[in-house]
């Protein structure tokens, strides 16, 4: 039961930070400051495209609503962004129950420090494996997330990979791990005081 609680906490915390980081253009601009575009985009063009793409994948737009930069993106890139919207929706579906479960567990003092410690260890293991071999992990997970194969885009042909090169996702994942680990450590301190 401790491992299950720990797993739920990890899923909830990582999903929360994933969603917040991937849906926040100011965080993207901070990452852009250290990860250059993979093409000849100006900073202004990159930020404008990021703003439009993020708004598109953050909210599930009504049927027929177009991405404002769709004239610049290919149909394959737009289909990929639609798939990303679906994944974000699924993560939101997991995040909300995980947060609610966390609140119930905290309210009734059912979260034991051991479950949180287990969560920290699991997150550290996942983080170590995925950060050390990020390119391989990124490549390995994408066929499962995008089984249609619409996730490979050459930067010399596609604007999406110029805005978001692999280094962007590595930096975002590192930030997600760092913030998730910090959140779990705070939860552990709170659980110990109960």
The predicted pLDDT at position 119 comes to: 77
Residue 1 has pLDDT above 80, yes or no: no
The predicted pLDDT at position 176 comes to: 92
The predicted pLDDT at position 172 comes to: 95
Query: How large is the average pLDDT for residues 36-54?
Result: 90
Query: How large is the average pLDDT for residues 4-8?
Result: 70
31, 73, 147 from 184: Cα distances, Å:
23, 39, 32
Residues 106-145 pLDDT 10s: 555 555 667 677 777 888 888 888 888 888 888 888 888 8
38, 42, 125 from 72: Cα distances, Å:
16, 15, 40
The predicted pLDDT at position 11 comes to: 77
64: left (phi over 0), alpha (psi -120 to 50) or beta: left
The predicted pLDDT at position 36 comes to: 95
% of the chain surpassing 90 pLDDT: 22
Helix, strand, coil % over all residues of the chain, rounded to 5: 75, 0, 25
Domain that holds residue 119: 2-193
Total domains in the chain come to 1
Which H or E run includes 180?
Answer: helix 166-193
Average pLDDT over all residues of the chain: 81
Q: In this predicted structure, which of 19-28, 67-76, 103-112, 121-130 has the lowest mean pLDDT? A: 103-112
Most confident of 2-11, 153-162, 164-173: 164-173
Burial level of 157, CB count in 10 A (0-12/13-18/19+)? Answer: exposed
Q: In this predicted structure, which of 1-5, 114-118, 156-160 has the lowest mean pLDDT? A: 1-5
pTM: 0.82
């Amino acid at each position: 039961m401790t491992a299950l609680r720990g797993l739920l906490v990890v899923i909830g915390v990582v999903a929360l930070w994933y969603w917040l980081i991937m849906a926040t253009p100011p965080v993207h601009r901070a990452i852009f400051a250290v990860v250059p575009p993979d093409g000849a985009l100006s900073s202004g063009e990159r930020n404008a495209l990021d703003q439009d793409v993020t708004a598109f994948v953050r909210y599930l737009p009504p049927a027929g609503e177009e991405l404002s930069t769709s004239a610049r993106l290919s149909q394959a890139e737009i289909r990929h962004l639609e798939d990303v919207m679906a994944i974000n929706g699924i993560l939101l579906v997991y995040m909300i129950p995980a947060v609610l479960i966390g609140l119930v567990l905290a309210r009734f003092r059912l979260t034991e420090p051991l479950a949180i410690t287990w969560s920290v260890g699991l997150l550290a293991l996942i983080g170590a494996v995925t950060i050390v071999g990020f390119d391989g992990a990124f490549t390995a997970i994408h066929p499962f997330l995008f089984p249609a194969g619409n996730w490979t885009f050459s930067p010399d042909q596609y604007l999406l990979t110029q805005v978001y090169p692999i280094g962007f996702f590595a930096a975002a994942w590192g930030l997600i791990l760092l913030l998730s680990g910090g959140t779990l450590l705070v939860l552990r301190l709170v659980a110990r005081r109960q």
